[in-house]
């Protein structure tokens, strides 16, 4: 069941609080969302004055991640106070950046919003193929999808909301300085690894074949990397040219190697925000591979990224108690 607060209530409070922050000089700017050009797609925006705060929204269309913009020097620099409208995953990205010494906590004002998940437009498109969607409304726990011919299709939350959001156990922004309306606190304790445990039952050949099939569709647009909050290297390994580290073609070994290395690089840092799989134009199941690695890190090192700004990433530290049964 969806929360009772209307979008209007959330937006009113959001705009009022952002205006107050700007007016009191507590932040120089706020990263947020404004209405996008498509029903399921809000677009990021930077608000620097009170009047602009009127365009801020928060709803199911706010899929893009905002945290990574904090690492752009022309948007945020050390010493500047910057506000961020934060879903649970955005706040965890901020916390992870602090753990990785990319941000200072005192510079950031985390404005938590009551996230109930975001829409994955691709999931809806596959559910209602080749029909033009012009809008949606919420009715109880259903999404009422409006089509161009004025007919409607009623879909369950599970059919519309992004997979990562369905298994999310941290929807409320942790360590929020301000919270808009109330935190959810009502998260169902889903086993976020259910899907992965099913996958683990497959044989190794079967698993390899599955990912071969997935990565064979990759067109190397790097939307996954560029959207990923944890992929922030100034120069990505795949862009190294002197010497060049990786082949750039779309042969399977090159595309698989790119994804495997990228995933190894975010293992123990991945927030399971699902952006990589949501932005992928080829619907590659990146969430499954990331999820598997997250599960490994949780089981081996009892580490979940984005929760503790004091704790370094699991693979960037060593503990005598780490399991090492693989060493003979």
Partner 1 sequence: MSKILKLEKSKLDGLIQFLNKRYELFGPKEINGQIEFARINPGDELRLDFLNTVKSPKDIFFAQTQPILHYKDNSVKEPALKHKPVAIFALHPCDAQAMKVLDKVFTQGKYLDPYWDGRYRDSLIFSIGCNTPATTCFCNCTGLGPFSKAGADIFLTDIGDSLILEACSEKGIYFFKIAEDVAWKEPDDDDLKKAEQIKEAAQLLLSEKFQAQDIKSILEKSWDNPVWDEISNRCLSCGLCSYLCPTCHCFDIQDEKLPGTEQGVRIRIWDSCMFSLFTREASGHNPRPSIAARFRQRVMHKFNYLIDDFGVLGCVGCGRCVQRCPVNVDIREILKGFLNGKG
Let me know if 278 is exposed, middle or buried by CB neighbors in 10 A (0-12, 13-18, 19+): buried
CB of 288 to partner 1, least distance (A): 14
Considering just the CA atoms, what is the radius of gyration of the chain in Å?
A: 20
Look-up of token digits 């932040």: 27
Q: How many CB atoms lie within 10 A of CB 157?
A: 18
Of 84-92, 200-208, 239-247, 288-296, the segment contacting partner 1 by CB under 8 A is 239-247
Going by C-alpha positions, the residue among 50, 13, 11 that lies closest to residue 34 is 11
- For the bound state, the minimum distance from the C-beta of residue 276 to partner 1, rounded and expressed in Å, comes to 10
If one asks whether residue 181 binds partner 1 (CB under 8 A), the answer comes out as: no
- How many Å apart are CA 112 and CA 110, to the nearest integer? 6
Q: In which region does residue 46 sit, left (phi positive, over 0), alpha (psi from -120 to 50) or beta (all else)?
A: beta
Q: Is 132 in the site for partner 1 (CB under 8 A)?
A: yes
Note whether 225 binds partner 1 by CB under 8 A. yes
CB of 312 to partner 1, least distance (A): 27
Any contact of residue 261 with partner 1 (CB under 8 A)?
Answer: no
Q: Could you give the string, one character per residue 278-317, with x where binding to partner 1 holds by CB under 8 A and - elsewhere?
A: xx-xxx----------------------------------
| Residue 248 neighbours by CB under 8 Å, 6+ apart | 220, 238, 254
Residue 152 sits at φ, ψ, to 5 deg, of: -125, 150
Among 134, 190, 233, 260, binds partner 1 (CB under 8 A): 134
Among 104, 184, 248, 323, binds partner 1 (CB under 8 A): 248
Q: Quick check: 233 binds partner 1 (CB under 8 A)? A: no
Q: Binding partner 1 by CB under 8 A: which of 26, 104, 126, 184?
A: 126
Question: Sheet containing 133-139: which strands, arranged edge to edge?
Answer: 133-139, 142-147, 152-156
Q: Which residues bind partner 1 (CB under 8 A)?
A: 36-38, 41-46, 64, 69, 72, 74-75, 126, 129-130, 132-134, 148, 217, 219-223, 225-227, 239, 241, 244, 247-251, 275, 278-279, 281-283
């Amino acid at each position: 069941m969806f929360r009772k607060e209307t979008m209007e209530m959330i937006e009113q409070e959001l705009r009022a609080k952002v205006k107050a922050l700007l007016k009191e000089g507590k932040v120089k700017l706020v990263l947020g969302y404004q209405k996008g050009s498509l029903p399921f797609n809000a677009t990021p925006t930077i608000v620097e004055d009170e009047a602009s705060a009127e365009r801020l929204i928060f709803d199911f269309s706010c899929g893009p991640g905002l945290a990574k913009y904090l690492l752009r020097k022309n948007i945020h620099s050390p010493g500047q106070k910057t506000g961020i409208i934060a879903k649970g995953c955005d706040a965890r990205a901020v916390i992870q950046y602090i753990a990785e010494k990319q941000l200072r906590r005192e510079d950031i004002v985390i404005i938590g919003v009551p996230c109930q998940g975001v829409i994955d437009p691709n999931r809806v498109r596959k559910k209602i193929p080749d029909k033009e969607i012009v809008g949606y409304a919420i009715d109880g726990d259903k999404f009422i999808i409006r089509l161009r011919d004025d007919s409607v299709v009623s879909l369950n939350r599970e059919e519309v909301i992004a997979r990562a959001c369905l298994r999310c156990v941290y929807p409320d922004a942790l360590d929020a300085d301000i919270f808009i309306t109330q935190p959810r606190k009502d998260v169902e304790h889903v086993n976020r690894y259910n899907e992965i445990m099913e996958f683990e039952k497959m044989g190794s050949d079967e698993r390899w074949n599955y990912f071969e099939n997935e990565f064979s569709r990759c067109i190397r647009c790097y939307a996954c990397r560029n959207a990923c909050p944890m992929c922030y290297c100034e120069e990505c390994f795949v862009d190294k040219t002197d010497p060049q580290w990786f082949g750039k073609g779309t042969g399977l070994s090159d595309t698989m190697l790119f994804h495997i290395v990228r995933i190894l690089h975010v293992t123990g840092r991945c927030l399971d925000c699902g952006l990589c799989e949501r932005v992928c134009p080829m619907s590659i199941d990146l969430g499954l591979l990331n999820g598997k690695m997250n599960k490994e890190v949780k089981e081996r090192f009892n580490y979940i990224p984005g929760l503790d700004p004091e704790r370094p990433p699991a693979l960037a530290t060593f503990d005598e108690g780490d399991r090492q049964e693989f060493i003979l």
